[in-house]
Amino acid sequence: MLLNAYKFILDIFFPIECVGCGAEGSWLCKKCFNKLQYRQQQYCLHCKKENTFGRFCSDCGKNYALNGAWIACNYHNKIIVQLIKNFKYHFALDISIILGDFVSLFFKDLSIKSKEHSTFKTIKLRHEDKPLKILANLSNALLIPVPLHNKRKKWRGFNQAEKIAEIISNNFNIQINSKQLLRIKHKKPQVQLKEQQRKKNIQNCFKWDGNKLNNQNVILIDDIVTTGATLNECASVLKQAGAQQVWGLVIAKG
């Protein structure tokens, strides 16, 4: 109720405009949506070297529970960044559909690329460019949004990662579980911290509160990745719970 009243007042004083061209009526018009570009190349989260599928290099991956990350766009993408901000702070749930569809386009392209690479039988591919098994078998995959602490979720009304995950789940028919990975501690915001501090800050913040994951692959959904410390901590908890591979799928690199 309160949220609706708040939205109603917002709409009167600040009519919804396309963040791309200013046209009234939607957060992003069709024309501007069609102009959005997603990343064609991924990279190793540790050393930042580019590759096709966001795997860690063999050496870099040794200290990570996470298998890699798929990042839909850069933080330089002003339109997407503005949408993420609006989504978070103006309670604009409609934006989740736009962001979810954008990530879906990117994810579809990634799946197609992986399929193409699996036909390159004669060419020797680098470790980082090998096709992704997880994408070839999405029926064994589980989407899990990176959780917010309950207090924060209550304050905001929803978890933006969860909304994105629901859209991807619908678009690709992948199972979703947004109830059993819990954030049990809420620590300082990561933004102000350096990489090493981030790792420490996020330790023991998550807990798996469900049945054993029977070698299922997990795709973690979040809006922004910075060093990958949060994704990695979730991955470590999920692997202890029996997950096979754990990948991150995020809208943008912070």
Residues that bind Zn ion in the complex, under the rule CB under 5 A: 18, 20-21, 23, 29, 32, 44, 46-47, 57, 60
Place of tokens 């309160």: 2
- Nearer of residues 23 and 174 to Zn ion, judged by Cβ: 23
Q: Which amino acid is at 124?
A: K
Under 8 Å between Cβ of 168 and 101: no
Whichever of 66 and 161 has its CB closer to Zn ion, that residue is 66
Least distance (Å) from Zn ion to the CB of residue 125? 16
In whole angstroms, the minimum distance from the beta carbon of 133 to Zn ion comes to 20
Do the beta carbons of residue 55 and residue 78 sit within 8 Å?
no
Q: Is the dihedral angle over the CA atoms 182, 184, 188, 190 positive or is it negative?
A: negative
CB of 116 to Zn ion, least distance (A): 23
The least distance separating Zn ion from the CB of residue 92, rounded to whole angstroms, comes to 16
Nearer to Zn ion, 43 or 208 (CB): 43
Helix (H) or strand (E) holding 178: none
Q: Residue 65 or 174: which CB sits closer to Zn ion? A: 65
Residue the block writes with tokens 């992948």: 174
Tell me whether residue 71 is exposed, middle or buried, using C-beta atoms within 10 angstroms of its C-beta: 0 to 12, 13 to 18, 19 or more.
buried
Task: Tell me which DSSP letter residue 57 carries.
Answer: P
Give the 3-state secondary structure percentages of the chain, helix then strand then coil, rounded to 5: 45, 15, 40
Q: Least distance (Å) from Zn ion to the CB of residue 245?
A: 17
Closest of 229, 216, 224 to residue 253, by C-alpha: 224
In whole angstroms, the minimum distance from the beta carbon of 78 to Zn ion comes to 13
Q: Which residues contact 245 (CB under 8 A, 6 or more apart)?
A: 67, 133, 134, 217, 218
Nearest residue (CB) to Zn ion, 21 versus 136: 21
Question: Closer to Zn ion at the Cβ: 79 or 167?
Answer: 79
